[in-house]
Each structure stands twice: as C-alpha cells, then as structure tokens.
Structure 1
Amino acid sequence: MIERDLEGWTLAFDLDGTLVETHEDLVGTLNRMLVLNGLPPAPMDGARNLIGGGARALLVHGFELAGAPVEAANDPALFDAFIADYIDHIADHSRPFEGVVETLETLAARGATLIVVTNKRSDLSELLLGKIDLTKHFAAIVGPDRVSQRKPSGAHVIEAIRSVGGDPARAVMVGDAAPDIDCARDAGIPSIGVSFGYTPVPIEDLEPDVIVDAFEDIEEAVDMIVVEHYVTRALAGA
C-alpha cells in the first residue's frame, strides 16, 4: 500500500505546456485566423513558444510574424472567431505529456490534492481536460475568471489552493513559463519548472526551485521540496 505521506499538500499545475501538449491545436486555430485575413500561416514549430500569453497575445504574435499591423489582431470579432474555432478543434491533437497520468495517479495516491492553475479560461480548460480524460485527477480547475488576479500574481495560486481547503504553506506550483514561476514566487511557495513546455525564455533563467526534464521526475522534485520544508521547520523549532 502506498503511504499517504503527501496528505495536506496541494500541488498546483499549469495546463498548456505543463500537463498537456496543446500547441498544434492552438497554432492550428491561429493559422486559420491568419489565412481568413489573407495572411500566411505561422510555422507550427516556430510558434510553439508564443502560446503562454493566451489567445489575444497569440493573435498579436501571429500578426507580427506575418508582418501585418498588430492593431487588426485586437479586433473583438477576430478574438470571438478564434475562440469559436478553438472550441471546435480543442482536442484534435492535444494530449497529456508522457508520464502525466501515471504521475498524477501516484501523487494523488500519496495523499496530495491536485489542482490546475491556468490563465486559460476555465470553461476552455474544463472542456479540454474533459475531452482528454484528465478532469478526474483534479480537485479544482481554476482559470483567471475564478480569481481576483491572474498569474503572474500570486493571488491566483493562493486563492486556488484555498478554494480546495489547502494551505499555501504546504503547496507547490508546477509550470513551464514565467507566469507560473513568478506566480509561485509572488505567493511565497516553491516552484518546479518543466523544461519541455512553452517559454521564449529558458526555464533556467526563470530560476524555479527545481527543474525537471520529464513529467515523471516531478514526484522526486516534490519529495525534495517537502523534505526541505520539514527540515527547515525542524531547524526553526516549529
């Protein structure tokens, strides 16, 4: 029987680029919007690291790559068309990264409470996670519309943790980009950075507490953070 040694800990995961490889579907929608506006599509691999900022930022980057005026990318009708198209194609190619399901199952079996903390709209996040059968692993899916401030504000992760009865003093944030690591830092909680996600800045430069190169390595990284937490408390006489 697995020991429930992570009871009382909340593990918060970013979605795009951390739990799920989503870039093909997001860039696919971007390219359909560009073509509809008479612009060339963005290269699939070249646009990979443009994803982390959300749909509006992705549209702006796409117009910039095409050499078009970025003002056109801010058209509300274009944004609405982007969202409608993305909903239709949200899980055409998106899949969990290798090791995600097994690692989430193990962490939950050890007693951890798992949540999603994402800047993707909550309804879109729930739709995506439902289609790829990941919803059941999480106690909450918390997009920016369910908190007072979005990442990189620490309020996002703190409010998400508290929404499931968790304690921010016993929590870890896992993510792939600056909004995630900065959010954790602002909240005063440790962070794990994944090297396989979507970031224009090398994950090392973001200075998370631990960096992993594969999702299955997150369990060991969590263990390191938990041990350090209890050692620090013991040394402080807490």
Structure 2
Amino acid sequence: MVAATWPRAILFDLDGTLVDSVPDLAGALNALLDEESLVAIPEEEVRGMVGNGVEKLVERGFAARGRDLAGEALAEMTRLFMALYEPRATLRTRLYPGVAETLQSLRSEGIALAVLTNKPAEPTRLILEGLRIAPCFTAVIGGDSGLPKKPDPAVIHAALKMLGVSEEEALMVGDSPADVGAARNAGIPVVVVSYGYTHVPAGELGADHVVDTLTEIATAIRIMRQAA
C-alpha cells in the first residue's frame, strides 16, 4: 500500500451496502409463497434471511414455512422467484443515505469503482440503472458470472483484472462475513458498514474499519493510510 495514492480501486458489495433491497426481495418471496398457498413472511423476518445469494433466500423462506427445498425443486423455485423479482427489482429498493454523493466523490478523485454481488446480473443492472448509479462503476460482477461466490476471492481477482489494479491498490467495502472473507482471501483491506444484513455485529466481522454511513469512507481511508 502506497499511503498517498491508496486506494486506486474500491470494490463494493450491493445489497446491504449500497442499497436496501429487502422490500422488493420480500415482495417477490411472498408472491411466490402465495402461489404455493403458504403464509407470507414479515419483511423484517425476510431481512434476516438475505445473504449468500438468491437460492439461499428461497431455501430459507420456504424452510420458515415448513417446506425444505433441495436439488431440482429448489432450482425451480429459484427460477420462479427470479421471474417475480426482476419486474419489481426497483419498486421499493433504495440507496442508503449518502451513497450517491460518496460514489461521485470517489470517482472525482480518480478511484475506479466496481460492484461485486451474489445477486444475478440482470436485477443488479436494473437496480444500478434504476437508481442512477450505474455510470459510477467500471466493473460489475453478478452471482451468475460463473465465478465462485464470495467469500471465494475469485470475483475480487476478476474485478481487479478488469480495472487494471493490483491487490495492494484495492479496498473492499461490504456488510457481511462473505465480504470480509473474500477480501481476506484476496489479501486486500476491507471496510464494513454497520447497517447491513449480517447477523454478526459489524464490529465482530474482523474488518479493518467499520463505518455507520458510506459518507464516512473518506475518513476511514485517511485513517487506514496513516496506519499503513
């Protein structure tokens, strides 16, 4: 890490870091449960089910209503979920406070930005474009890219190759154990937000720094530069 110029790239998680997508995820999940004659799940309960990709959300949702899914049955319900989710991906999904301004500020400083998410590429595109932050990102890698999902470091290595940046010049920002694990496995520093979807308190995730809003990223970077 060269303190004066670090980082040259910042890699962001999406759900729970840049956007609160739970309202639309819950809407799609409950629409699917209704089609299966199962009782809806409260939105706040769905919030605790988010993480590790769409298939896991579907699996957890059905398990909460007493139906265990696996194999082709889970794959089919996941396909049905996506058909319900994509048309509503931006109905109630919103940026967290300060996200747009922070992304624009980082870009103005010449820092390359990327999104690395376990969410499939198409709803990711719809969200980034619908919330008008797509132009901020040079690289976007979704969960259906064919690469192993976080915490495997493959997505980080792929993004850095696309950006032309080395691991020593990069920073990861996320909200979950998968984000921290991917960063550690790739050998890059990581900042976590305190407001995300993880069940583990942010301060216990093992990140280099914790921020309460994305606007605090500049301060976190300054502190990490000084510590380098």
- TM-score band by shorter chain is over 0.9
Structure 1: which 5+ runs fail to align?
230-238
Does structure 2 conserve the Cα–Cα contact (< 8 Å) formed by 1:181 and 1:208?
yes
Residue number in structure 2 paired with 1:168: 167
Q: Distance in 2 between matches of 1:72 and 1:144?
A: 18
Q: Distance in 2 between matches of 1:72 and 1:168?
A: 36
Q: Name the amino acid aligned to 1:64.
A: A
Residue number in structure 2 paired with 1:81: 80
Q: Larger deviation: 137-146 or 93-102? A: 137-146
Does structure 2 conserve the Cα–Cα contact (< 8 Å) formed by 1:59 and 1:73?
no
Deviation at 1:100, TM superposition (A): 0.2
Q: Does 1:106 align with 2:90?
A: no
Deviation at 1:77, TM superposition (A): 2.8
Residue number in structure 2 paired with 1:233: none
Deviation at 1:134, TM superposition (A): 0.9
Q: Distance in 2 between matches of 1:203 and 1:158?
A: 24
Pairs within 5 Å for 1:6-155: 6=5, 9-71=8-70, 74-146=73-145, 148-155=147-154
Does structure 1 conserve the Cα–Cα contact (< 8 Å) formed by 2:174 and 2:192?
yes
Once the two structures are superposed, residues 45-80 of structure 1 have per-residue CA deviations (whole angstroms, 9 ceiling, x without a partner) of: 122121112111111111121122334994433221
Q: Distance in 2 between matches of 1:166 and 1:223?
A: 20
Q: Distance in 2 between matches of 1:109 and 1:215?
A: 16
Does structure 2 conserve the Cα–Cα contact (< 8 Å) formed by 1:56 and 1:74?
no
Structure 2: which 5+ runs fail to align?
none
Over the matched positions of the two proteins, sequence identity in percent amounts to 33
Does structure 2 conserve the Cα–Cα contact (< 8 Å) formed by 1:192 and 1:209?
yes
Q: 1:76 to 1:150 in 2, by over 3 A?
A: closer
Task: Please give the secondary structure, in 2, of the residue aligned with 1:161.
Answer: helix
Q: Distance in 2 between matches of 1:155 and 1:77?
A: 27
Residue number in structure 2 paired with 1:214: 213
Q: TM-score, normalised by structure 1?
A: 0.89
Q: TM-score, normalised by structure 2?
A: 0.92
Q: Name the amino acid aligned to 2:224.
A: I
Deviation at 1:7, TM superposition (A): 7.2
Does structure 2 conserve the Cα–Cα contact (< 8 Å) formed by 1:147 and 1:160?
no
Q: 1:6 to 1:28 in 2, by over 3 A?
A: farther
Residue number in structure 2 paired with 1:201: 200
Larger radius of gyration: 1
Q: Larger deviation: 212-221 or 73-82? A: 73-82
Q: For the aligned residues, what is the CA RMSD?
A: 1.8
What is the count of residue pairs matched by the alignment?
A: 225
Q: Distance in 1 between matches of 2:74 and 2:106?
A: 43
Q: 1:74 to 1:54 in 2, by over 3 A?
A: farther
